[in-house]
Structure 1
């Protein structure tokens, strides 16, 4: 069997191959809502990961790693008043509830995200921010494994639009579309 071709070097910030690097395109989006990204340790080095890029774009964001052997994070951040979980299933907030001050975003594949919600009691207790299903025509690299599935970056853009308005979310949506387009044009995630 012939040896595998060497993968091109990746950008250490956006995690894409250097020729696809998005760093110069990452906007700084100001939000009232704080976004806490709880990234599964298996997502950290994936080329397909978009949670890290979303965290870079949001000035009011915090990125935490779940499942790291190096240590744990302070679970108190998940229990702060006004915290909701961006997730398609579970208890939603009452219609008259004030908007969240903080949204926890699980940056993982569907099976990892579901296990995280089952294993972390702090997550199970949070009201859910449920997004409507993605509109037809949303640019995606692959078919989602869940009917409400989309990339973390797409989900965050839609959550920002819902909470703070489409004009605030527009730079995130453009970044998500640019990422998909660059990868599709090259035909690879390398």
Structure 2
């Protein structure tokens, strides 16, 4: 599925980017976390209505979204230097056995190729200890088809990380938001129930 969000957001909510009649904003939970989330979103994801990091940022009290790859803008990797910062990414280096849980989790937002290139092009990302999640169930609903079975949306990955770091109760709120977002996007495309 391809997101076709008008540049001027005509007929769309300026916060959630969904058509105004399907706006999710009133139903987005507010989740307080101990863990800070730093989302590094690829520039090409920024305007997509199917961008799930936008929903995570609306829901999580401690979530910041930075843009990577905008034309003419250099990414400032110094934001990755804070102590106790981990990377949520498959194959990231395992933390030291005696490491405490992260206080801050970096999440890459983009398609698989974009995320992989971010890791390749930003050496500071490769130095962070990593958190790797188990793959989702094969019958998991999707907004976009992942390139491999372990793939998941940014919102799903953040929910999985939150379950690991702070418990299922908080994570379930993000999983429910993901399901609601899928319903609304499919409805906006006239495909709900398919």
What TM-score comes out, normalization by structure 1 length?
A: 0.88
> Quick one: distance in 1 between partners of 2:188 and 2:73?
37
Aligned length: 184
Aligned to 1:22: 24
> Quick one: distance in 2 between partners of 1:143 and 1:74?
31
Tell me the CA shift for residue 138 of structure 1. 2.3
For residue 67 of structure 2, give the secondary structure of its aligned residue in structure 1. Answer: strand
User: Which 5+ residue runs of structure 1 have no aligned equivalent?
Assistant: 1-5
Aligned to 1:3: none
The one-character-per-residue Cα deviations of 1:53-78 (angstroms, maximum 9, x if unpaired) are 11111101111111224644542221
User: Which 5+ residue runs of structure 2 have no aligned equivalent?
Assistant: 1-5
1:175 matches 2:167: no
For residue 106 of structure 2, give the secondary structure of its aligned residue in structure 1. Answer: strand
1:94 matches 2:96: yes
1:116 matches 2:118: yes
> Quick one: distance in 2 between partners of 1:166 and 1:103?
17
On the 8 A contact 2:87/2:131 being kept in 1, the answer is: yes
> Which moves more between the two structures, 159-168 or 132-141?
132-141
For residue 164 of structure 2, give the secondary structure of its aligned residue in structure 1. Answer: helix
Equivalence map 1:129-168=2 (5 Å): 129-168=131-170
What TM-score comes out, normalization by structure 2 length?
A: 0.87
The one-character-per-residue Cα deviations of 1:93-147 (angstroms, maximum 9, x if unpaired) are 1343210110001111100000000000110111111000102432212331133
Tell me the CA shift for residue 79 of structure 1. 1.4
1:64 matches 2:66: yes
